[in-house]
């Protein structure tokens, strides 16, 4: 299996589309960091905030998206790009039966491809993050503290998981449709739906289920239902997870009544507490990746290869 893994990894890193994606991510990342870094530096001199590096990732400078959100938008595209021609490309090039007629176990092929994709994503994401830390240190003047590093590490893991889901999905479509273009379009369509339309649908659905928005309790209830429905979309899961992990002050997902928040001291949460908050989201993400890959695995093992 390692033979397949290394070949696929080499293929990914030498492909042109990967280079383009990498260039886009790095350039935008650098620019976003620079912009937010400048504004933070000015504040840092007067009253240094506790979690500067996390702010670098989450601040929206000049009305643009924060880096975390930007990565969350671009990540799925990277995942789709790496996965959509995984199997359908082999069919198109007629190489599948050649490779499968060699003495390797059939699952080595699909495992190798998936792991190579994940490894590429991991390297990409980690590189961007290291870039952020490096630039941050030079801009702000001091290195991140331990809590910040842990949170950024978890952010990286969550990001890889999230993109991993899209990779697994693209792989599944690549297997189901056997035609590269259809796989790509299908994945992109699903991404569009889940990222843009699902939140809207969630809101409409919540309004239908709990139409009463008169009292504050009812409003909170409506918001809760909206959030619950929108959690079907992995991008919502990613959004919530990132929100809690990268923002130690955040302690509530969704809306809260003033009675509930009264008397709470605004001290940052410890990492373990933040993790407890988003534990369900994390497990759902892991489950989604596992299910997608599992279906791909079964389909591939049973397919009759004629190409």
Using CA atoms, how far apart are residues 219 and 221, in angstroms rounded to an integer?
5
Q: Which of residues 64-103 bind other proteins (CB under 8 A)?
A: 93-95, 97-103
| Positive or negative: CA dihedral 76, 77, 82, 87 | positive
Contact string 101-130 vs other proteins (x = CB under 8 A): xxxxx-------------------------
Residue by residue, DSSP assigns 104-156 as: S-HHHHHHHHHHHHHHHHHHHHHHHHHHHHHHHHHHHSS---HHHHHHHHHHH
Complex with other proteins: residue 1 or 65, whichever CB lies closer? 1
> CB 1 → other proteins: shortest distance, Å?
10
Complex with other proteins: residue 14 or 262, whichever CB lies closer? 14
Tell me how many residues contact other proteins (CB under 8 A). Answer: 21
How many alpha carbons fall within 13 Å on the CB side of residue 3? 8
* Nearest Cα to Cα of residue 165 among 187, 197, 193, 186: 187
> CB 188 → other proteins: shortest distance, Å?
24
Which residues are within 8 A (CB) of 218 and not within 5 positions of it... i.e. 6 or more apart?
A: 210, 212
Complex with other proteins: residue 14 or 272, whichever CB lies closer? 14
Contact string 180-219 vs other proteins (x = CB under 8 A): ----------------------------------------
Complex with other proteins: residue 99 or 122, whichever CB lies closer? 99
Using CA atoms, how far apart are residues 62 and 221, in angstroms rounded to an integer?
33
Using CA atoms, how far apart are residues 9 and 13, in angstroms rounded to an integer?
6
Contact string 6-45 vs other proteins (x = CB under 8 A): -x---x--x-------------------------------
Q: Is 262 near other proteins (CB under 8 A)?
A: no
Q: Which stretch binds other proteins (CB under 8 A): 3-11, 63-71, 122-130, 234-242?
A: 3-11
> CB 186 → other proteins: shortest distance, Å?
24
Using CA atoms, how far apart are residues 83 and 71, in angstroms rounded to an integer?
18
Complex with other proteins: residue 65 or 307, whichever CB lies closer? 307
Using CA atoms, how far apart are residues 132 and 156, in angstroms rounded to an integer?
12
Which residues are within 8 A (CB) of 202 and not within 5 positions of it... i.e. 6 or more apart?
A: 226, 227, 229, 230, 232, 236
Q: Is 305 near other proteins (CB under 8 A)?
A: yes
Under 8 Å between Cβ of 68 and 246: yes
Q: Which two tokens stand for residue 2?
A: 């390692």
Complex with other proteins: residue 108 or 127, whichever CB lies closer? 108
Residue numbers of the site for other proteins (CB under 8 A)? 3-4, 7, 11, 14, 93-95, 97-105, 304-307
């Amino acid at each position: 299996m390692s033979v397949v893994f290394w070949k696929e990894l080499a293929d990914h890193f030498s492909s042109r589309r990967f280079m383009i994606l990498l260039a886009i991510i790095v350039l935008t990342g650098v620019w976003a960091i620079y912009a937010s870094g400048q504004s933070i530096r000015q504040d840092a001199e007067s009253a240094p905030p506790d979690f500067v590096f996390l702010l670098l990732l989450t601040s929206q400078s000049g009305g643009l998206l924060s880096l975390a959100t930007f990565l969350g938008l671009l990540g799925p595209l990277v995942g789709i790009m790496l996965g959509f021609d995984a199997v359908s490309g082999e069919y198109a090039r007629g190489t599948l039966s050649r490779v499968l007629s060699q003495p390797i176990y059939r699952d080595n092929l699909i495992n190798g491809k998936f792991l190579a994709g994940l490894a590429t994503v991991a390297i990409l994401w980690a590189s961007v993050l290291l870039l952020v830390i490096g630039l941050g240190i030079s801009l702000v003047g001091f290195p991140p503290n331990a809590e910040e590093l842990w949170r950024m590490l978890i952010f990286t893991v969550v990001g890889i998981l999230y993109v991993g889901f899209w990779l697994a999905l693209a792989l599944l479509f690549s297997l189901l449709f056997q035609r590269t273009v259809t796989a790509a379009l299908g994945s992109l369509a699903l991404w569009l739906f889940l990222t843009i339309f699902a939140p809207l649908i969630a809101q409409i659905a919540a309004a239908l289920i709990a139409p009463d928005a008169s009292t504050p309790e009812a409003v909170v209830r409506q918001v809760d239902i909206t959030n619950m429905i929108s959690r079907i979309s992995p991008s919502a899961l990613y959004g919530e997870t990132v929100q809690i992990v990268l923002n130690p002050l955040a302690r509530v997902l969704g809306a809260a009544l003033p009675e509930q928040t009264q008397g709470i001291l605004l001290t940052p949460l410890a990492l373990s507490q933040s993790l407890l908050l988003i534990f369900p989201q994390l497990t759902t993400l892991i489950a989604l990746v596992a299910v997608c890959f599992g279906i791909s695995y079964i389909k591939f093992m049973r397919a009759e290869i004629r190409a």
